[in-house]
Structure 1
């Protein structure tokens, strides 16, 4: 099955589960790195099923987690930042880079998390180490996209594997 067909199959499965209010059978997250040449930044976004994400945050940080409650958004920002920074590492051009947490938003049954890396003058390669939700599921799948201009490189990382390298 091609990567595109596989990705759409996952999306369709997710939407069917949402429509019938069923627990989703797949444990999947997506991470996208997008190099913005003009701004010299890498824009990072992660998309994770909210119920799974709340479960792992509550388990790891031993506190009540409610990502949909605007009254505690600041507190949730801190917990999310801590989790994502410790479960997603990126090297650009062979060097470890520090991501700045931008924020999160809820989109239907998923949580979108946004990060940014500044001062990336050139972008020739990316190495992504992604263990998001590995501490909750041993069947976790991470779909990773790395985009530079019109070139997109994508893969799926299946537990226990955790790395993807894209060269441009």
Structure 2
């Protein structure tokens, strides 16, 4: 009985000692709108702590006193830590805003006008300075095709060929 209890409790205890740090990014090519739509799901507390450190200020991204200032901080942070290039051309992403859902902040970016592409490079080191074990799940959706990959700190790049 004790061995079974240890086998069950040890993983629970270890997860409490070593939290799980993972973001999810979905990149969708919207052919009718000729846009590349990006949504990044980042744990709210992790993003808030990174913004506090990066901007040397206190803030609350769930109930901000100054939403435009928080949007500016998030946009600047993402511009420094997340980038895309298609067929060798850097895509200057436009930050659209963020939304809180449960324990995560969904950050939305877009590039338009986007033409069809054959190769996409992603640079993503969001939260790497804060968490040695940070990882990113990245999904690319083009039409009915979906490709996915995972990168972990310190690896900060991924590529997709269509």
TM bracket (short chain) = 0.7 to 0.9
2:36 is aligned, of 39, 42, 49, to: 42
Map Cα deviations across residues 108-151 of structure 1 (whole Å, 9 max, x no partner): 11000000000112122210010000010111111111110111
> Which residue is 1:7 aligned to?
none
Other structure's SS at 1:86 match: helix
| Count of aligned residue pairs for this structure pair | 149
Displacement of 1:72 after TM fit?
A: 1.5
Matches within 5 A, 1:45-60: 45-60=39-54
> Which residue is 2:72 aligned to?
78
Other structure's SS at 1:77 match: helix
Compare CA radii of gyration and give the structure with the larger one.
2
1:90 is aligned, of 62, 76, 84, to: 84
Structure 2 unaligned runs (5+)? Answer: 1-11
Change (3 A) 1:83 1:23: farther
Give the Cα separation in 2 of the matches to 1:103 and 1:65.
16
Give the Cα separation in 2 of the matches to 1:32 and 1:138.
22
- The runs of at least 4 consecutive aligned structure 1 residues that moved more than 6 Å come to none
Give the Cα separation in 1 of the matches to 2:20 and 2:36.
28
Displacement of 1:71 after TM fit?
A: 3.1
User: Are residue 30 (structure 1) and residue 20 (structure 2) matched?
Assistant: no
Give the Cα separation in 2 of the matches to 1:163 and 1:28.
15
Structure 1 unaligned runs (5+)? Answer: 1-12
Other structure's SS at 1:144 match: strand
Matches within 5 A, 1:1-168: 25-168=19-162
Other structure's SS at 1:48 match: strand
CA RMSD of aligned residues (A): 1.8
Contact 1:35/1:123 (8 A) holds in 2: no
Displacement of 1:70 after TM fit?
A: 4.4
